[in-house]
């Protein structure tokens, strides 16, 4: 598929129509009381799905088999683009349709949806890091891992699952709390109570378990060398142990919570020494 002959609005219209028609092929029974999925409005900007449906009927993309049952016409079937459907299936908040189509043109349409998406996503990482948007960084690495896994690049997928894990266990969400304590703006008890644990996302845990044969301990060393951040509640050696637990489906949340909490309290102790030094 090429977008060179289309402007952004035309390409977007084709995309929305394709997703809508594909939905109707799977849910042909509709009427004025039909509750359409929320993503029609949230992701496709369709303000009134039933009005949009009537528009497609008028334009000949749909026909009525009976009062409440629709069928996609021959014209409608031609309008359902496999590439659009695939893009929608693997879509992420970090890649807009416009960014995807621009990258597709730049790559001269030679690559798959997944490879095109990967190209866009990998360019997002450094700007997110510079903006200190580490939630975005770990989300993008997780998206990248999933796409690499789908195209069969298991080594690359595992590497990015591990980077996402690295950020999950870093404790970056506590950075502001530690900063406030070091500046004397929070009391010790308040900062201690602020610790609620470390959450490793299920997608990361399952990805590492699925691809356990692709794991190489050197990956962790490389990640600690390259992804240096201002706070980390997990050492390189302990992350190796954590990964082995995940690979063997033996992760014990309670045991690891104690480890992370111990390290968090150690950081509070460092902050306390800093406070005393500043007060002298």
pLDDT in tens, 206-227: 999 999 999 999 999 999 999 9
Is the confidence at residue 62, as pLDDT, over 70?
yes
pLDDT attached to residue 67: 86
Domains and CATH numbers, the chain: 8-87 (1.10.10), 124-279 (no CATH)
In percent, the amount of the chain with pLDDT more than 90 equals 86
Average pLDDT over residues 10-28: 95
pLDDT band per the 50, 70, 90 thresholds, residue 34: confident
Is the confidence at residue 23, as pLDDT, over 70?
yes
pLDDT attached to residue 5: 60
pLDDT band per the 50, 70, 90 thresholds, residue 115: very high
In percent, the amount of the chain with pLDDT more than 70 equals 97
- The C-alpha atoms of residue 249 and residue 206 are separated, in whole angstroms, by 9
pLDDT band per the 50, 70, 90 thresholds, residue 246: very high
**What's the mean per-residue pLDDT of the chain?**
93
Average pLDDT over residues 107-116: 91
């Amino acid at each position: 598929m090429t977008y060179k002959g289309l402007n952004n609005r035309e390409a977007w219209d084709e995309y929305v129509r394709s997703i809508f028609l594909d939905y109707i092929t799977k849910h042909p029974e509709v009427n004025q009381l039909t509750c359409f999925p929320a993503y029609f409005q949230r992701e496709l900007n369709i303000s009134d799905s039933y009005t949009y449906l009537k528009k497609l009927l008028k334009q000949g993309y749909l026909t009525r088999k009976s009062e409440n049952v629709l069928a996609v016409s021959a014209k409608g079937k031609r309008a359902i683009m496999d590439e659009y459907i695939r893009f929608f299936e693997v879509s992420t908040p970090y890649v807009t349709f416009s960014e995807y189509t621009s990258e597709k043109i730049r790559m001269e349409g030679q690559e798959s949806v997944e490879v095109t998406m990967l190209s866009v996503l990998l360019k997002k990482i450094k700007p997110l890091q510079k903006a200190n948007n580490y939630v975005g960084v770990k989300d993008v690495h997780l998206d990248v891992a999933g796409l690499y896994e789908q195209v069969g690049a298991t080594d690359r997928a595992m590497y990015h699952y591990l980077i996402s894990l690295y950020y999950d266990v870093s404790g970056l969400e506590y950075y502001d709390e530690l900063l406030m304590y070091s500046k004397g703006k929070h009391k010790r008890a308040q900062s201690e109570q602020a610790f609620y644990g470390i959450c490793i996302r299920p997608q990361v845990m399952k990805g590492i378990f699925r691809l356990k044969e692709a794991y190489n301990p050197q990956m962790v060393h490389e990640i600690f060398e390259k992804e240096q951040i201002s706070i980390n509640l997990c050492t390189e050696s302990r992350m190796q142990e954590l990964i082995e637990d995940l690979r063997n489906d033996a992760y014990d949340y309670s045991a690891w919570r104690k480890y992370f909490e111990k390290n968090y309290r150690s950081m509070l102790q460092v902050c306390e020494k800093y406070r005393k030094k500043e007060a002298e």
